[in-house]
Amino acid sequence: MAYIDFSDKYSVGIETIDKQHIKLINLINTFFEAMKAGKGGETLKPTLAELIKYTQFHFSSEENYMQKIQYSRYGEHKHKHEALVAKILEFQHNLENEISGQAVLLLGFLKEWLTEHILVTDKAYSQSFIENGIR
């Protein structure tokens, strides 16, 4: 069983965004599998780097859509994105410095964050996106 399973409850009704969320979930699952298999930092570090890169791509694509439709909660949403990126970079720093227990803490954090990100903050914009023709 995967660490996080994508199901209908996670759909925001916009195919482009759902696909990006699935990719994020897959990257988190890959990180989980690597950790479970006892893979060390040499595997975990590049996996995390890829996850960070994709998260930034995903956020900028959401922000671009928000700007395009002049979404009223753009500032608030962007602020959440920045806070999250800062937090994962802090985990990355700790992982680089071999601080023990970081991978487990990071996974718990990512699962909770992703669920909240999709179910609360992203679901809040889905209607506005759909009304503005974003698919």
Sign of torsion over alpha carbons 82, 83, 86, 92: negative
State in angstroms the smallest separation of the CB of 12 from Fe ion.
8
Q: Which is nearer to Fe ion, 104 or 119 (CB)?
A: 119
18 binding Fe ion? (CB under 5 A): no
> Contact letters (x/-) for Fe ion, 71-110, by CB under 5 A?
----------------------------------------
Q: Which is nearer to Fe ion, 65 or 122 (CB)?
A: 122
State in angstroms the smallest separation of the CB of 103 from Fe ion.
23
Long-range contacts from 40-49, C-beta under 8 angstroms, 24+ separation: 41/95, 41/98, 44/95, 44/103, 45/92, 45/95, 45/96, 48/88, 48/91, 48/92, 48/95, 48/106, 49/92
122 binding Fe ion? (CB under 5 A): yes
State in angstroms the smallest separation of the CB of 94 from Fe ion.
24
Nearest CA-CA partner of 10 in 113, 83, 117: 117
State in angstroms the smallest separation of the CB of 104 from Fe ion.
24
Would you say how long the chain is, in residues? 135
List residues binding Fe ion (CB under 5 A).
122
